[in-house]
Structure 1
Amino acid sequence: MFGDLKRFDTHQYQPDWFQQLFDSLFPDTGAADIRSVPRGSFPLINVGRTDDAVHVYVFGAGLTAGDLEISIQDNVLTLQGKRGTQDEDDAGEKARSHYRRERASGEFSRTIALPEGLDPDRAEAQFSNGVFRIHLPKRAELKPRRVEIQAA
C-alpha cells in the first residue's frame, strides 16, 4: 500500500546515503553558510562604522605583525601576506603525513571596497592576539556636526 512513497533507493549499506542525496540536490556553492565568504577565504574580516571612522578587524590566527601588508588606494583596502605551514612539532621534527588538513597555507590576498570620505593618510593599524585592527578616520568635513539652535 505505501510502496509508492519510497521513490529512491536508500542504500542502507551506505551510512552516508542521505548526505550524498542532499549534496546531489543542492550542489556546493563554495560558501560555508549563507552569511559567509567563500570557503578558504583568509583572513576573515569584520568591518564596522562609527560617526568618526571605519574600523576593520582582520582575524589572522597564526600571523605576526610582519606577515601582513596593508595598503589603501582609491577607497580600496588590500591585505596581502603569506601564512606558513606548521608541519614541524616542538622538537623540530617534520610531520610525515596528515590524516586531515584544514588550515590553508601560502600566499593570500583580500580586497575590500571602503566607503567614500575616508582619510587614508591618517589610517592606523594595531596587532594584538592574532587580530589586526585598522582604524580609518573620516575626513573632518564629512563628520556629522551639531548645530546649536538660538532663541530669537
Structure 2
Amino acid sequence: MFGDLRRFDTGLSPEADWFRQWFQDLFNEGGAADIRSVPRGSFPMINVGRTDDAVRVYVLAAGLGMNDLDISVQDNVLILRGTRNALPGHGEEDSRRPSFRRERFDGEFVRSIALPEGIDVERAEARCHDGVFEIHLPKQEELKPRRIEIQAA
C-alpha cells in the first residue's frame, strides 16, 4: 500500500543527487540537522535537570567507558573532556576511501556547561552505566530552600 511513497524523483543521476546532498551538508556545517538537534560537533550530548537539592547532568556518550571521560568543575563550569576512538575497521586506512556520509565523531572533545551558583563540588558524584554518565552535583546546604512554618498569632 505504501510501497510507492518516496521522495519525488529529481530526474538527476545518483551522482548528481549525491553531489547535491554533499553541497547542502557543506554549507550547513555547524548547523543543526533539525530543530531538536544540537549543533554538529556537540559531543557528548547532555541532559541537565535541577531540583531544590541538586543539579543532575546526564552525559550520553555511547562507546565511552569510565576511564574515557574526565569530569571537572572550575568556576561554576562543568567541563567534560575525553577522546572517542574510531570504530574497529574505521581507522586511518579507512580515511583514504570515500564515504558518502559520516556522522559519528572520532577524536578529542571538550564540552562545558555553566552551572548555577552554590554547587557543593566536594560532595559531587558521577556514575557510568552503558555509556550514560550521571553526574550528581548537590547544592550547598545554606542555599537550599527552607520551609518556614506559619504559626497562629
TM-score for the superposition, normalised by structure 2: 0.74
- Read off the aligned partner of 1:72 and give its amino acid letter: V
RMSD (CA atoms): 2.9
In structure 2, C-alpha distance between the alignment counterparts of 1:44 and 1:123, rounded to whole Å: 20
Deviation at 1:83, TM superposition (A): 0.8
In structure 2, C-alpha distance between the alignment counterparts of 1:113 and 1:148, rounded to whole Å: 34
Structure 2: stretches of 5+ with no match in the other structure: 1-9
- Equivalent residue number for residue 8 of structure 1: none
Identity %: 62
Which structure shows the higher helix fraction? 2
- Read off the aligned partner of 2:32 and give its amino acid letter: A
In structure 2, C-alpha distance between the alignment counterparts of 1:98 and 1:12, rounded to whole Å: 24
For this pair of structures, how many residues does the alignment match? 134
Deviation at 1:76, TM superposition (A): 0.4
In structure 2, C-alpha distance between the alignment counterparts of 1:129 and 1:63, rounded to whole Å: 8
In structure 1, C-alpha distance between the alignment counterparts of 2:98 and 2:41, rounded to whole Å: 18
Deviation at 1:54, TM superposition (A): 0.3
- Equivalent residue number for residue 134 of structure 1: 135
Taking a change above 3 Å as real, the CA distance of residues 130 and 98 of structure 1, as seen in their structure-2 partners, is farther
Is 1:150 aligned with 2:151? yes
Task: Specify the structure having the higher radius of gyration (Cα).
Answer: 1
In structure 1, C-alpha distance between the alignment counterparts of 2:43 and 2:55, rounded to whole Å: 20
Question: What secondary structure sits across from 2:122 in the alignment?
Answer: helix
In structure 2, C-alpha distance between the alignment counterparts of 1:136 and 1:34, rounded to whole Å: 29
Structure 1: stretches of 5+ with no match in the other structure: 1-10
In structure 2, C-alpha distance between the alignment counterparts of 1:102 and 1:31, rounded to whole Å: 12
- Equivalent residue number for residue 86 of structure 2: 85
